[in-house]
Structures are given as structure tokens and as C-alpha cells.
């Protein structure tokens, strides 16, 4: 009797998971907000916005995981043995999660070499900040918290720079149809021939 109850509970749970997944809706090329783990604040926005959102959001996710390890084991022991396994796993997972939005963002700003270079710089800064979430020997609680909060300012500054660089190129580049007309002006149509009576 107990195994039948357990089996029916398992079946209902699997059915609920399948139904929830089937209802995931796409918004702006990203899954709807309740399903969008990578850039939840960028639904319906361009891929560049998704990447910018992912930078802060995924950093916060791993920062929170590290905070849980610190609460569990204390600063000194948060890196010992397998105590840092959760944050190391988070780092690996978020590197994979950000890869697609990063690639899409690079594609979106491809016509601006400066924006592409700045985007590479933001990605490098993000990777460095993620790897520096661990506590450093002798660091006080206040010093640690200030250090792991500092990357947000760097991210924001870099994002504004990228937006500015990309916007400068966008305003200089005429739309394709207009550019084509300017390069190949339309030939005037010949006047209709007069009919002979």
C-alpha cells in the first residue's frame, strides 16, 4: 500500500514538472521570466541587454552561494576540502550559462570594433570577479564584503562604455536600404513615347 502511494506521488510530481516545462513561453528570444535563469530582467530586450543582465545576475548567484559557504563553515574553513564545492560548481555552471548571451552580444555589436573590444574587457572582468569570490587570508568581514561588492561598479561602468561605443556606430550607419539608394541612385524613368495618330 505504501509503495502504491509513493508511486502515485512520484507520477504526479513528474507530471507537474512536464506540464510546467511545456508551458515555458518565449519572450524576446528568451524563456519567459519564471523560466529565464540567465537574464531574468531582460525579457523582450535585445541580446546585448540579456548579456549585460547576465553579468550582474550570475555574479550575484555565485556571490550568494559563497556567502552560504561562509555562513556554514566560517571564512577560514570556507575554502578547505570540499567546503568550497558549491561555489566552484556555481562558477563552472555560470561560465557555461553566460557563453551563449556573450556570443550573441558580440554578434550584435560586431560593426563597432571598440564595442567588441570593450565587451571582451567586460567578460574578462566578470571572469576575474567570479574567481575572486573566495575569502583571502587575513581579510576582515568588512573588507571581504566591500571587495565582493566592488565589481558591480566596474560592470556598470564598462556597460555604459559599451552602450556609448555601440550607439556612436549605430547613429553613423545608415539603414541598409538608404545606404543602397545612396550608392545606386535610381535612374530617372524615360518619358512615355507620344502615340502616333
State pLDDT tens for residues 165-191.
Answer: 999 887 775 555 544 445 555 555 666
From residue 15, give the alpha-carbon distance in Å to each of 1, 5, 20: 21, 15, 9
From residue 67, give the alpha-carbon distance in Å to each of 62, 70, 94, 113, 174: 8, 5, 16, 38, 49
Q: What is the mean pLDDT of residues 132-151?
A: 95
The verdict on residue 133 lying in a domain is yes
The verdict on residue 135 lying in a domain is yes
Residue 87 belongs to domain spanning: 24-171
State pLDDT tens for residues 60-93.
Answer: 999 999 999 999 999 999 888 888 899 999 999 9
The verdict on residue 146 lying in a domain is yes
State pLDDT tens for residues 8-45.
Answer: 443 334 334 433 343 445 545 555 555 578 888 887 78
The verdict on residue 18 lying in a domain is no
State pLDDT tens for residues 85-138.
Answer: 999 999 999 999 999 999 999 999 999 999 999 999 999 999 999 999 999 999
The verdict on residue 13 lying in a domain is no
CA torsion sign for 122, 50, 173, 182 is positive
The verdict on residue 186 lying in a domain is no
Number of domains in the chain: 1
Amino acid at each position: 500500500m505504501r509503495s502504491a502511494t509513493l508511486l502515485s506521488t512520484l507520477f504526479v510530481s513528474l507530471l507537474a514538472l512536464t506540464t510546467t516545462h511545456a508551458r515555458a513561453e518565449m519572450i524576446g528570444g528568451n524563456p519567459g521570466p519564471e523560466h529565464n535563469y540567465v537574464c531574468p530582467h531582460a525579457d523582450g530586450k535585445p541580446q546585448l541587454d540579456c548579456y549585460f543582465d547576465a553579468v550582474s545576475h550570475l555574479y550575484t548567484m555565485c556571490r550568494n552561494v559563497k556567502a552560504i559557504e561562509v555562513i556554514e563553515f566560517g571564512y577560514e574553513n570556507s575554502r578547505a576540502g570540499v567546503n568550497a564545492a558549491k561555489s566552484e560548481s556555481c562558477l563552472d555552471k555560470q561560465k557555461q550559462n553566460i557563453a551563449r548571451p556573450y556570443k550573441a552580444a558580440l554578434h550584435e555589436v560586431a560593426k563597432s570594433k571598440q564595442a567588441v573590444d570593450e565587451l571582451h574587457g567586460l567578460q574578462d572582468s566578470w571572469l576575474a570577479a567570479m574567481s575572486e569570490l573566495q575569502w583571502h587570508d587575513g581579510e576582515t568581514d568588512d573588507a571581504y564584503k566591500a571587495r565582493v561588492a566592488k565589481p558591480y561598479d566596474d560592470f556598470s561602468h564598462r556597460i555604459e562604455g559599451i552602450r556609448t561605443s555601440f550607439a556612436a556606430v549605430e547613429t553613423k550607419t545608415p539603414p541598409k536600404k538608404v545606404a543602397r539608394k545612396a550608392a545606386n541612385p535610381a535612374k530617372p524613368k524615360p518619358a512615355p513615347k507620344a502615340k502616333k495618330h
